[in-house]
Amino acid sequence: MQIYLPIAEISVNIFLILGLGGGVGFLSGLFGVGGGFLITPLLIFYGIPPAVSVATAANQIVASSVSGVFAHWRRGNVDIKMGLVLLAGGIVGSTVGVWVFAWLRSLGQIDLVISLCYVIFLGIIGGMMLLEATRAIFRTRRKGPIRRSKKHQHSFIHGLPFKMRFYRSGLYISALLPLAVGFFVGMLTALMGVGGGFVMVPAMIYLLGMPTGVVIGTSLFQIIFVTANVTFLQSVQTQTVDVALAILLLIGGVIGAQFGAQFGARLKAEHLRALLGLLVLSVCLKLLFDLVIEPDELYSIMPGDL
């Protein structure tokens, strides 16, 4: 059954899009990730214009983060103060990002930048994840002691000004750090159509030193508002948010996530991380391959009234 998407202006197979949302939802439930980094490239592979894919994915992530944050909220796993500081950086970053997006689009380089961002970030994150998970798998096999880093290591980070106390996380650090992390992740949301959890979660643990228990809830809390900001700004600036596409994706996504979460409970955590690492790397390789291989058609056209 075909449905004509009002903003993307193409007709798509309704079951294929539902299945796409469901498949990514399954994976996001399985691995506990947002899935934005998978949905955007898949939409582009399917033939949805990249600009529409990125903006619509941001809209869909609003829904998936809202549904995820409630469980963490009830358990008190959201550091609201930290979330708000991250958010302040995120709002500025995503606003700048939407502006950069529109500028790159007029230059005809947006597709390239989207692809490059994906290759770089997916490559780094996927590689690290796979490496870390393989080590963990071997370590549990050898039953060796787990090396633990000291909680309060002092580095240049603790010399920065504007220190703030974050009670929920038990931290006393410069507000500049979470502001910078928020800004950077906000840029990624605008440029790549991702929630940015895959960058923010490691940054919160390793850079800010937050306890792992509050990391997911706090990042979800922040992602809701940043993706909402991106959805709004893309609607105003580029009119590329396709509500019909977003609704189809989130119906599939919500259902898929439930099955994924149930299935994931039966697998070991480090095996899950290794699988996710492999998945992330394969998306990265596919994108890299498309950039490096000589295309069949060297010329492309775009309507432009500039």
Partner 1 sequence: MSLSARFIASICLSAFAVIATSTPMKRALADPLVVDLSNHLVAITTGFTGTDVLLFGAVQNEGDVIVTVRGPDQDMVVRRKERKVGIWVNAESARYKNVPAYYASASNRPMDIIAPQNILQDYRIGLDNQRFIAVSDNPDADQKVYRDALVRNMQNAGLFNQRPAKISFLSNQLFRTDIHFPANTPTGTYTINVYLIRDGRIASVKTTPLVVSKTGVSAEVYEFAHRYSALYGIIAVIIAVIAGWIASVAFRKR
**Interaction site with partner 1 (CB under 8 A):** 2-7, 9-11, 59-60, 62-68, 70-71, 108-109, 111-112, 116, 224, 228, 231-236, 239, 241, 243-244, 246-247, 250-251, 254, 257-258, 291-295, 297-306
CB within 8 A of 140, min separation 6: which ones?
270
The CA distance from 185 to 179, in Å, is 10
The CA distance from 139 to 128, in Å, is 16
How far apart are CB 151 and partner 1 at their closest, in Å?
A: 31
How far apart are CB 255 and partner 1 at their closest, in Å?
A: 9
Cα dihedral: 286, 287, 290, 291 (round 10) = -140
Count of CB atoms situated within 10 Å of the CB of 138: 11
The CA distance from 126 to 280, in Å, is 5
Q: Which C-beta is closer to partner 1: that of 98 or that of 279?
A: 98
Q: Which C-beta is closer to partner 1: that of 175 or that of 228?
A: 228
Q: Which C-beta is closer to partner 1: that of 146 or that of 306?
A: 306
Q: Three-state secondary structure along 81-120?
A: HHHHHHHHHHHHHHHHHHHHHHHHHHHCCHHHHHHHHHHH
The CA distance from 54 to 128, in Å, is 25
Q: Which C-beta is closer to partner 1: that of 113 or that of 176?
A: 113
How far apart are CB 145 and partner 1 at their closest, in Å?
A: 34
The CA distance from 79 to 188, in Å, is 22
How far apart are CB 190 and partner 1 at their closest, in Å?
A: 14
How far apart are CB 269 and partner 1 at their closest, in Å?
A: 19
Q: Which C-beta is closer to partner 1: that of 218 or that of 229?
A: 229
Q: Which C-beta is closer to partner 1: that of 146 or that of 292?
A: 292
How far apart are CB 178 and partner 1 at their closest, in Å?
A: 24
